[in-house]
Amino acid sequence: MDDSQGKDGSRLMKKYIIRRILSGILTIFIVFTLTFILIKSAPGDPIRTLIGQDNDDPVLQAALEEKWGLNKSLPEQYFAYLSNAVQGDLGTSIIYERSVNEMISEKVGATVLLGLTSAILALIIGTTLGILAARHEGSAYDTITSVTTYTMNSVPSFWLGLMFIILFSTKLGWLPSYGMTTARKNYEGWAYVVDVMRHMALPILTLTMVTMPKYFRTAKSSVLQVMNEDFITTLRATGMSEKKIFSKYVFRNAILPTITIFGITMAYLITGVSLIEVVFSWPGMGRLVLTAINQRDYPTLQGIYLIMSVSIAVVMILVDIIYAVFDPRIRYD
Amino acid sequence: MKKVVSLVLCLAVLLAVMVLPAFAEEERCGGTLVVRINGDPVSFNPSISSDDNLYKPAQNFYNRLVKLDASKQIIPDAAESWDVSEDGMTITFHLRQDMYWTDGEALDAEDVAYTFTYIKEHSTCYFSSKMSNVASVEAVDPYTVVFNMAEPDVSIIARLGWYGTFILPEHVFNNGQEWADNPASTTPTVTSGPFTFVEYKQGESITLAANPNYFGGCPQVDTVVFSIIADSETAVQALLNGEIDELASMPTSYVEQLVADDSVVLALNEYPSPIRIVFNCLDEKISDQALRTAISMCIDREDISAKATAGIMPPEYAMYPSLIAWASNTEDVAPAFSVENAEKTLVDAGYTKDADGYYVRGLTIDVFSSSAYYADAAKLIAANCAKAGIELSVNVLEYNSWSQKVGTERNFQLEMQGGFMGPDPSAMRDRIGSGQGSNYSGYSNAEVDELLQKAVATGVTEERAGYFKAVQKILAEELPYVNILAYAGYDAHGANVENLPIDGTGKWGWNEYTYTRFVD
């Protein structure tokens, strides 16, 4: 490649990245607007939560609506929120009267801990089992793992979580059933770390079990596809060992789709762990989302959706850029 | 002349005085009690809003003038007695003289007057609108506080034992800040109750420690942890494996299993919160009293109780909860179940059958989905209605959708709801008084309004009971609503724990853990 070609490629790449970032910002703006409209259109409102189910008190209702600016027109509310959001201020929760930024930052760590750990475990276990199943296609191992993973794929995560609680907590007494720490104890140092890990065990087991089939299927089909490519047949004809063909050519080509799925899983991390956080009373963002939905806590919901749309857009842009690096044709699209 | 009601309340005080020291003198057992709550509290200031998740903790670190016991009747708290002037325009509370905040300051009438004056002046406080009949609150001396009424309303005494009425320390809150902005609303370090605030872990727990200087005696356990468990199924498992000690309102599906489990004790907790059908009296079809009567005759309460709630919630025939025996009229009740009589009522009223055998078509009952037995009960009623020639379809909605349609828009014909009918029977006024916010039926009857007004203008219990029963007699005829079931649910706790809130009728507060202790 000469210099001019290199400069052209670099220029095109920059242009592509800028275009992708701009389209990402536009997407975030559209999602922000749509979620604002959808949230406001949903029946119910946070004032009803604040005043209580049995308290249809018009005076209190009007006072609270005024306090939270809900008596203003929708465009006024929208632009007020938008101007704060672009400055990084996600507003104040109507229910908890706390900064939404603060509430999200307190919860995000617990969710990432649960989501990331289970995603990595599911990636490693699912991919390993998938590759082994592909390499022993048609064997008893392949049949057993395929049936098991397909079954796991159909099992609702909240049900599986409850079954694990009944088995490992109630029947066997091995692990705690809920929360992040033991309520009766106040552990510190390493004992605290061990306590948190014990509490993580069942939610992570559940999440890993329900996520793993996705990696299993992808890894298995990718390996089978690559192993049937003509160049593999050619390599076999050269006398190269199966082990070397697999490690040097099949594995590298087959692993890419799995990495893509991992990236997407990360982007959807919050929604992915919501139900599990509820079942195990894990103090993360997923539970915050579900509570905010039930209470119609507009600022909290809007803030969480904004964070989610930004994180999804960022991951998608990164994935696109990585693909563009590997496949130059994409830059010209 | 002081009102007779004072005598009844004095008896309650006497009982409390006799019983409480006995518990206080027992050797403390110590330990950490773990109690389940459903979610995070909105704040740690229980006098701003009505917050179910703060109700339990707040009951244990602050005090009110009066509090509710397990039977949902008021018992003394900071006020050891009270009386109502003859004209009903003055309600005087006499405070205990041995109450202190945790920083050593005395809890006195100034704190009470400050708290309720602030609430009255701030319309965003939950209890503010409930004080519309209160002109002012004054501290007469350090241990006497007077509520000067704009209009006579004795119902406020019982309401003071409900949400949004906790006494706050004036020397902490009266600093020029609004309550919501005061750090003490986030971290209540100066408190007065049996426990002191230790720590709040968002999404996890609230920890309280025993207050050795509490006027009711040092609590039996060292620490209470209110553990936040959102999912009821998980909470049941946590109770079974000993991670928590108490679980209120247990899912009914576990009752049979837990009754057979020696490690757990179940106690039925009844509330004056009947499950009822509300008729929209402003609807063209439903405004016909004959049709409302016919539909009421299609309600087989025994069948609904057995099939929809496994018999846990008993049938409720009275128009006001029979649990509150002194005010409930058990003679003038809703029409008895009879499909034949329902059909006859329609025929007598001039309805005629169409080709499909229906007298009335196109009726809908709106119920919300969060309590499965609502939909089940509605379906059983609809099936009986069909037999009587009334076409009734069941519309199950998510709670917020139901609330929007029924509560805000009043766009319904029949709806099913629960809801507290206490702590004073005058809560009926909120439900059926002309123009009241919670009067979903749109019902209006000047005689009922007048009777209810008279019932809050006197402190004489017998007189009040008479007015309430007269109201129920009218309601049983005109049927703006009809009760179906008495709300009840099982509270469960470990067999190694005793003196729980459910055991405290007449002795200690509902949700209060001062005397709860571990046993061998």
Q: What is the pLDDT of residues B388-421, one digit of tens each?
A: 999 999 999 988 888 889 988 899 999 999 888 8
B326's tokens: 């002194």
Q: Do B234 and A44 touch (CB under 8 A)?
A: no
Q: Which residues of B touch A52 (CB under 8 A)?
A: 50, 126, 163
CATH number at residue A140: 1.10.3720.10
Band of pLDDT at residue B17, cut at 50, 70 and 90:
very low
Options 1.10.8.60, 3.10.105.10, 3.40.640.10, 3.40.190.10; CATH for B275-486 is: 3.10.105.10
Among chain A residues, the shortest Cα distance to B370 is held by A294
Q: Does pLDDT of B8 surpass 60?
A: no
Q: Which residues of A touch B403 (CB under 8 A)?
A: 43-44, 48, 53
Which regions of chain B carry the CATH code 3.40.190.10? 30-232+490-518
The fold for domain B30-232+490-518 equals D-Maltodextrin-Binding Protein; domain 2 (3.40.190)
- Whole-number pLDDT of residue B27: 66
Among chain B residues, the shortest Cα distance to A161 is held by B234
Mean of all residue pLDDT scores within chain A: 85
Q: Do B40 and A58 touch (CB under 8 A)?
A: no
Q: Does pLDDT of A317 surpass 90?
A: no
- Whole-number pLDDT of residue B137: 97
- Whole-number pLDDT of residue B24: 44
Q: Does pLDDT of B9 surpass 50?
A: no
Q: Within 10 A of B379 (CB to CB), how many other CB atoms are there?
A: 18
* CA gap B473, B308 in Å, rounded: 28
Q: What is the mean pLDDT of residues B181-207?
A: 94
**One-letter amino acid of B313:** M
Q: Does pLDDT of B28 surpass 50?
A: yes
Q: Which residues of B touch A184 (CB under 8 A)?
A: 32, 34, 225, 243
Q: How far does A299 lie from chain B, in Å, by closest CA?
A: 15
- Whole-number pLDDT of residue B479: 97
Q: Which residues of B touch A43 (CB under 8 A)?
A: 398, 400-401, 403-405
Domain span at residue A147? Answer: 2-332
Distance from the Cα of residue B211 to its chain's centroid:
27
Q: Does pLDDT of B4 surpass 60?
A: no
Distance from the Cα of residue B128 to its chain's centroid:
18
Question: Under 8 Å CB-to-CB from B325, ≥6 apart: which residues?
Answer: none
Furthest CA-CA distance within chain A? 86
Band of pLDDT at residue B11, cut at 50, 70 and 90:
very low
Q: Contact, A281 vs A179, CB < 8 A?
A: yes
User: Choosing among A66, A165, A300, which should be mutated to test the B contact, i.e. which has the most B CBs within 10 A?
Assistant: A165
Q: Contact, A299 vs A80, CB < 8 A?
A: no
Q: How far does A153 lie from chain B, in Å, by closest CA?
A: 23
- Whole-number pLDDT of residue A248: 80
Q: Do A50 and B42 touch (CB under 8 A)?
A: yes
- What's the number of domains chain A is made of? 1
Q: Contact, B274 vs B421, CB < 8 A?
A: yes
Among chain A residues, the shortest Cα distance to B440 is held by A56
Q: Does pLDDT of B278 surpass 90?
A: yes
Q: How many residues does chain B have?
A: 520
Q: How far does B403 lie from chain A, in Å, by closest CA?
A: 6
* pLDDT-wise least confident of A238-242, A270-274, B320-324, B476-480: A270-274
Q: Do B202 and A106 touch (CB under 8 A)?
A: yes
Q: Contact, A121 vs A328, CB < 8 A?
A: no
Q: Does pLDDT of B21 surpass 90?
A: no
Q: Does pLDDT of A333 surpass 70?
A: no
Residue A169 is nearest to which of B39, B241, B440, comparing CB atoms? Answer: B241
- pLDDT tens per residue, range B462-481: 999 999 999 999 999 999 99
Q: Does pLDDT of B517 surpass 80?
A: yes
- pLDDT tens per residue, range A171-216: 999 999 999 999 988 888 999 999 999 999 999 999 999 989 999 9
- Predicted TM-score (pTM) of this structure: 0.84
Q: How far does A294 lie from chain B, in Å, by closest CA?
A: 8
Under 8 Å CB pairs connecting chains A and B tally to 145
* CA gap A305, A292 in Å, rounded: 11
User: Choosing among B202, B405, B496, which should be mutated to test the A contact, i.e. which has the most A CBs within 10 A?
Assistant: B202
Q: Do B204 and A279 touch (CB under 8 A)?
A: no
